[in-house]
Amino acid sequence: MNPVVETTRGRVRGTVVDGTAVFKGIPYAATPSGDRRFAAPEPVPHWDDVRDASEFGPTAPQPLYGPPLDKLLDEVMIPGENPLNLNVWAPDLEASLPVLVWIHGGAFVHGSSAIPIYDGANFARDGVVFVSINYRLGAEGFALVDDAPANRGLLDQVAALEWVRDNIAKFGGNPHSVTIVGESAGGMSVGALLAMPAAQGLFHRAIAQSGAGHSALSADTARTVSRALAEALDIEPTRAGFSTVDPDRLITAQEELTVRIRGDKDAAKWGEIPTHAMAFEPCIDGTVLPELPIDRLAAGACSDVDLLIGHNEDEMTLFFVPSGVDSMIDDNSLRILAAPYGLTEPASLEAYRSARPDTTPGQVLMHVLRDWMYRIPAVRIAEARAAHDAATYVYRFDWKTPVFDGRLGATHALDIGFAFDNLHVPGNSALAGPTPPHELAQRMHQAWVTFVTTGAAGWEPYGRQRTEMVFGETCETVDDAEPELRLLWNGIR
């Protein structure tokens, strides 16, 4: 018999899959349309009948991935009015189990909770109530509009966590043992939530995969983007102006603006965007996100929250190798492209060449950008929290896929299938190849389950030894990996 659960807004009917109760498409906030468009999330109205929760709900409006990423990254788009919905995998409705809340990635403009690799069955199998959420993306979620609340996509995530707080006990979850987990933009969202006053107390542990605490635009930069978008749409840069624009037209305009920014020779007018590579991401508005997350964490924010954080060894290959851009970079373009990231001294690039002998200029650049975007921000969070004796566990994913003749290596997003123990899911082989190691997936997934359950990951927390776990052909801890390169970023990142 299909299970029925009473939530604070009404009853929902799920399904049972291999002994796990699964509920999909539950709205956690009202439809953000009409008067609620470009507004903070509001409570969903009560419903009287039992609501069917057997299918994934609508996804946030978004563009399609273009080539070559469309062949490598899965995407699911489901039409419908209300993308503010979530899904629950519950192993025992009568229990009080730890809860994991998954926040998808996608550069804040792509993604949804319905992507097959995000299936929560294996977490439920291992005694964790798994929740995955959708949130507003692109301009709808992150354009800074003066008379609208900022960071609406982050406010959506807070609203979903409030739903978890108020309802998860009815699904067999413990509202006092909630872990937020995200990858890429989802990991950056985790960093933002750690710094947000509105999110405090809604979670007790956090995992950030390939995302940390440096990814936020200044208010001035975000406002420049919004005004440029309004000009392109021939509207006033106000909530009323943006609300008149059809969502599909808005997405087209935001994509055209992103292309324009990337090609603009006057990069300085776009502030941080040329290095962040995202025109729509959280911004430091002073209220929802008071400061850059790393600065809040350095001041002691969320020191009572256990944290697991890390990166992939070859993050940037996903953005360079499939398109062949890596092979187009020579020594001169390496110097030019590395300079905006602060490495202007020749000795700095020589240090990167020495760290990996016989590498091409393109490989050196990808190593530099990996550190700037992913590794060093994760290290800075671990350092900041260590100063407050806050438990922080650091990892590095280092298994190298055979895809693209091995040139992708341990690329961005490859770790997800391992953390979920979902290597069998259709579509995973696009990145992982035909025979990824299941033993590694079991080991990594178990570390995630252990952390969600206990707050400890199974190795020493980051401290004076700078310990990190390496998940690769072998799994072992290392102390202070690449110290010379880490020191290069002092005062820069």
Q: CB-side exposure of 421: number of CA atoms within 13 Å?
A: 16
Tokens encoding 139:
């301009």
Tell me whether strands 283-284 and 11-13 are parallel, antiparallel or unpaired.
unpaired
What is the rounded distance in angstroms from the CA atom of residue 111 to the CA atom of residue 487?
A: 35
Q: Under a CB-based contact definition with an 8 Å cutoff, are residues 77 and 24 in contact?
A: no
Q: Under a CB-based contact definition with an 8 Å cutoff, are residues 394 and 468 in contact?
A: yes
pLDDT tens readout for residues 147-198:
999 999 999 999 999 999 999 999 999 999 999 999 999 999 999 999 999 9
**Average per-residue pLDDT for the chain:** 98
Q: Mean pLDDT, to the nearest integer, of 453-478?
A: 98
State the amino acid at position 67 in one-letter form.
P
The whole-number pLDDT of residue 1 equals 86
Tokens encoding 2:
């299909």
What is the rounded distance in angstroms from the CA atom of residue 392 to the CA atom of residue 377?
A: 14
The CA-based angle 258-140-182, given to 5 degrees, is 85
Task: Flag whether pLDDT at 340 surpasses 90.
Answer: yes
Of 264, 82, 119, 108, which Cα lies nearest the Cα of 188? Answer: 108
The whole-number pLDDT of residue 124 equals 98
DSSP 280: S
What length does the chain have?
A: 493
- Comma-separated ranges of CATH 3.40.50.1820 domains in the chain: 4-218+281-302, 310-488
Tell me the fold of 4-218+281-302.
Rossmann fold (3.40.50)
State the amino acid at position 3 in one-letter form.
P
Q: Under a CB-based contact definition with an 8 Å cutoff, are residues 114 and 59 in contact?
A: yes
pLDDT band at 458 (very low <50, low <70, confident <90, very high): very high
* Percentage of the chain exceeding pLDDT 90: 99
pLDDT band at 392 (very low <50, low <70, confident <90, very high): very high
What is the rounded distance in angstroms from the CA atom of residue 178 to the CA atom of residue 453?
A: 9
pLDDT tens readout for residues 249-277:
999 999 999 999 999 999 999 999 999 99
484's enclosing H/E stretch is helix 483-488
The whole-number pLDDT of residue 419 equals 98
Task: Flag whether pLDDT at 16 surpasses 90.
Answer: yes
Q: Under a CB-based contact definition with an 8 Å cutoff, are residues 408 and 401 in contact?
A: yes
Q: Mean pLDDT, to the nearest integer, of 56-65?
A: 98
Q: Mean pLDDT, to the nearest integer, of 197-207?
A: 98
Find residue 129's DSSP bridge partners: 99
Task: Flag whether pLDDT at 445 surpasses 90.
Answer: yes
CATH of domain 310-488: 3.40.50.1820
Using only C-alpha atoms, the chain has a radius of gyration, in whole angstroms, of: 22
State the amino acid at position 281 in one-letter form.
E
What is the rounded distance in angstroms from the CA atom of residue 442 to the CA atom of residue 452?
A: 15
Q: What is the pTM of this model?
A: 0.98
pLDDT tens readout for residues 405-426:
999 999 999 999 999 999 999 8
pLDDT tens readout for residues 271-305:
999 999 999 999 999 999 999 999 999 999 999 99
The whole-number pLDDT of residue 218 equals 98
Q: Mean pLDDT, to the nearest integer, of 338-361?
A: 96
Widest distance between CA atoms in the chain: 68
The whole-number pLDDT of residue 373 equals 98
DSSP string computed for 27-84? ESS----GGGTTS---PPPP--SPEE-SS--PPPP-PPPPTTGGGTS-------S---
The whole-number pLDDT of residue 418 equals 98
Catalytic residues: 184, 315, 412
DSSP 401: B
